[in-house]
Structure 1
Amino acid sequence: MIGAAYQQGTHVRVIPPEGQTLFSQKGKLLGFSSEFVSILKGNALFICDHHGNTLSTHRYTANQPTKANSSKSVLFYLLFGCLIKIGNAYRLYQFLGRGNAIGTDGGDLNWKNIGIWVSSISFWIICFFAASKMGIIDWCN
């Protein structure tokens, strides 16, 4: 029978009503009853009996940031898209800097660059839409 369980530094100490230590395990105390103790170790929840034997383990996700990695990924893709846009803007600047209006230079219009521009703009729209759906940004809603 468990009388008390308390956090002592990085360990959970479990004692019976009589007062001597039943067991001590490294982890964070989440709760206890007269029969069981729940201890968090990393992102796993261990349910232990009064002898310290593990009865079950569960994945623990509460109070942990779930979108940290996804926001970093979206940021990476947005920066990558920005680099693509800068490169395409330079190519368009070179094209327009020749002094020819689009379509009047003898068919030298580069449809590949226009396709890259369209795909780049589509990429940004998809990134912002995905970020708003994941809750990373809220001003797109």
Structure 2
Amino acid sequence: MNKQELLNSIKTKITDKIQSFENLIAETRASSNDTKSSMGDKYETGREMLQQEINNLQRQLNEALIQQSVIQKISAEPSVKAQGGALIKTDKGLFYITVSAGEIISEGKKIMTISAESPLAKAMSGKKEHENFTVNNITQVIKTIW
């Protein structure tokens, strides 16, 4: 598995997400400006709803920016134990401990990206190849760590 390729894929995914949120915020702000009217309080509710939407998008953008900051610190160097930056194959799947960016496909294999703060990453933290860990009463065996 090429960890550098995986990291680049995650970085691209997060950058695209940030761009999307920035565009949505700009579009929503533009529509908020369009609703300014001298027709009275009837439009204040609509503007307030748009402001709440902007706040929600801004929160999501901030989360994506934090993810981008975290991913910049992840190394593609090989790992010998389950930790941040480790790509881990268990008997149940492939997991990349970076940020929670969903599923990515590499070399025809599905890889779940998980945050180091996730219960799964915490359960396997510090474990080495051929060791077991349990999450939600499901025991998994670490087969390979890259």
Name the TM tier (shorter chain): 0.3 to 0.5
Question: Normalized against structure 1, the TM-score is what?
Answer: 0.43
Higher RCO (C-alpha under 8 Å, 6+ residues apart) = 2
Would you tell me which structure has more helix in proportion to its own residues? 2
